[in-house]
């Protein structure tokens, strides 16, 4: 029920291979820190390889700290938070999330600040602190709206819906699912739409509205089939 990003395996290999080639020739400077950042994000979003996210993210943060490269430090903290949250170490994730927030505010990066707020909300959600999670996500969302960051807005609406779903407030959960889906439709974000339809299916299933649930699970399945997303296809069939 969380956001995921998918690219073709060929593109993954070419992009990462290209970044690794560039990395070998670089000196210990901000350009290398930026390449390490790009590698970390590639392994996160393109291959979903958390081990590599941890490996290259640690190198990127270490170099950025050595250079006192504030932008690199801020995003280094952000990626370390993601790594530890994905690993299930929510305490360490929160430590890095809050370090990230402090540096983003120091350098005046509002988009980065909003992402940190959303990440803190996500960590709190996974720790079961739902009220505080909603508060942080709401703060992050308000900045996303001011910036016109539609991708970030959809993510915030999605995660807010997830929290209300967990709390059993299915009316609010569905409301936020629909807000996220509207943005994804505008952005032609098929991966996000598939995830959103799955979330809507979950809500209707919880309401014992099985025909509606089947409709949205099927919509999710059709998109995953189009994208050849085997994990998504398997998840949709399980739900159906």
pLDDT given for residue 6 in this prediction: 32
- On average, the pLDDT of the chain sits at 91
pLDDT at 10 over 90: no
Averaged pLDDT for residues 73-87: 96
- % of the chain surpassing 90 pLDDT: 84
| Counts for the chain of helices (H) and strands (E), in that order | 12, 0
Instruction: State the pLDDT at residue 12.
Output: 54
> Of 14-28, 40-54, 64-78, which one has max mean pLDDT?
64-78
Model-level pTM? 0.87
Confidence of residue 72 (pLDDT cuts 50, 70, 90): very high
**Measured distance CA(146)–CA(90) in Å, rounded:** 29
Poorest-confidence range of 39-53, 94-108, 164-178?
Answer: 39-53
3-state secondary structure of 31: helix
130: left (phi over 0), alpha (psi -120 to 50) or beta: alpha
**b/e per residue, 165-176, with b = 16+ CB within 10 A?**
beeeebebbbeb
DSSP alpha helix (H) spans, the chain: 9-25, 30-45, 50-67, 70-87, 90-107, 110-126, 130-147, 150-167, 170-187, 190-206, 210-227, 230-239
pLDDT value at position 106? 98
Tokens of 91: 């305490």
- Dist CA 148 CA 158 (whole Å): 17
DSSP state of 46: T
| Residue among 96, 81, 71, 5 nearest 42 (CA) | 5
> What does the block give as tokens for 220?
């999710």
**Backbone conformation region of residue 189, classed left if phi is above 0, alpha if psi is from -120 to 50, else beta:** beta
207-220: average pLDDT = 94
Q: Tens of pLDDT along 96-153?
A: 999 999 999 999 999 999 999 999 999 999 999 999 999 999 999 999 999 999 999 9
Q: Give percent above pLDDT 70 in the chain.
A: 95
Q: Which of 109, 174, 100 is nearest to 143 (CA)?
A: 109
Q: 43 pLDDT band (50/70/90 cuts)? A: very high
Q: pLDDT band for 5, please (50, 70, 90 cuts).
A: very low
Report the distance separating Cα 214 and Cα 194, nearest Å: 13
pLDDT at 131: 96
Evaluate if residue 2 carries a pLDDT over 50.
Answer: no
């Amino acid at each position: 029920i969380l956001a995921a990003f998918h690219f073709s395996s060929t593109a993954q290999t070419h992009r990462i291979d290209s970044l690794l080639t560039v990395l070998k020739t670089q000196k210990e400077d901000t350009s290398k820190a930026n390449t390490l950042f790009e590698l970390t994000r590639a392994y996160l979003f393109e291959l979903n390889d958390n081990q590599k996210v941890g490996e290259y993210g640690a190198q990127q943060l270490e170099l950025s700290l050595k250079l006192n490269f504030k932008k690199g430090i801020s995003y280094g903290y952000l990626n370390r938070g993601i790594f530890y949250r994905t690993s299930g170490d929510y305490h360490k994730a929160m430590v890095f999330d809050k370090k990230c927030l402090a540096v983003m505010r120091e350098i005046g990066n509002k988009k980065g600040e909003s992402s940190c707020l959303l990440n803190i909300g996500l960590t709190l959600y996974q720790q079961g602190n739902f009220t505080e999670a909603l508060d942080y996500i709401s703060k992050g969302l308000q900045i996303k709206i001011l910036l016109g960051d539609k991708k970030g807005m959809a993510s915030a609406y999605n995660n807010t819906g997830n929290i209300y779903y967990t709390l059993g407030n299915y009316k609010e959960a569905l409301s936020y699912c629909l807000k996220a889906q509207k943005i994804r439709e505008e952005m032609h974000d098929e991966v996000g739409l598939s995830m959103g339809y799955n979330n809507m299916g979950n809500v209707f299933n919880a309401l014992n509205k099985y025909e509606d649930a089947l409709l949205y699970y099927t919509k999710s399945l059709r998109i995953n089939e189009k994208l050849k997303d085997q994990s998504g296809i398997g998840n949709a069939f399980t739900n159906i």
